[in-house]
Amino acid sequence: MFKKTAFVILFAALTSALAVDSTQTDYDHAALSLSAQGTYAQAVSFSIPSTELTLSAEQVRPGNSFTVSIPVTNTTDRAIDVSAVAAAPTGTGASHLTVQAVSAQATLPAGQTTTLTFTLSFDASTEAAQAGQTVSVMFDVTAVAAADNTSTENSSF
């Protein structure tokens, strides 16, 4: 019992020693100013090592299928949700190519890297006219602050 009483008295003494007292402005009034300070998180940003990938002639051929990997690094101090979308293929051989998302979105912690992937597949058509045709696919990558980056919690002094 003595230890509990001593702790309560010590805690009360320390708490009041750390408190800041108001200043009387007159007999019926007192005032105290305090501030809440913080720093904004960094703006959402990410990096990708290269923005251009050249497909070799060995890859662009009937019946072939391969994976395009897009490494994305979160360059902010908070989590972001990244996603990629493939535009419709263009070029003279575009009608022979399909693009399918494998892993096109992810939540990425601060400073971490993930890989977004797509499969590119050429149909089995072997028309002589396909020789020399070109294909191109544009991938758009976007990011937004992750939903868990906002707080509705109250802060207290």
> What mean pLDDT do residues 3-13 have?
48
Who wins on pLDDT, 142 or 29? 142
pLDDT category at 107 given cuts 50, 70, 90 is very high
**Rounded Cα–Cα distance for residues 81 and 83 (Å):** 7
Q: Which helix (H) or strand (E) holds 48?
A: none
Please tell me the predicted confidence (pLDDT) of residue 54: 81
Rounded Cα gap, residues 20 and 140, in angstroms: 54
State pTM to two decimals: 0.70
Rg, Å, the chain Cα set: 30
Give me the pLDDT at residue 18, please.
65
With a cut of 60, say whether residue 86 has pLDDT above it: yes
For the segment 38-66, the average pLDDT, to the nearest whole number, is 83
Q: What is the pLDDT of residue 37?
A: 77
pLDDT class for 57, splitting at 50, 70, 90? confident
Based on the number of CB atoms within 10 Å of its own CB, is 110 exposed (0-12), middle (13-18) or buried (19 or more)?
middle
Predicted pLDDT at 72: 96
- Mean per-residue pLDDT over the chain, rounded: 82
Question: For tokens 């003279």, what's the residue?
Answer: 92
The fold of 46-147 is: Immunoglobulin-like (2.60.40)
Q: Is the pLDDT of residue 42 over 60?
A: yes
CB 119 within 8 A of CB 67: yes
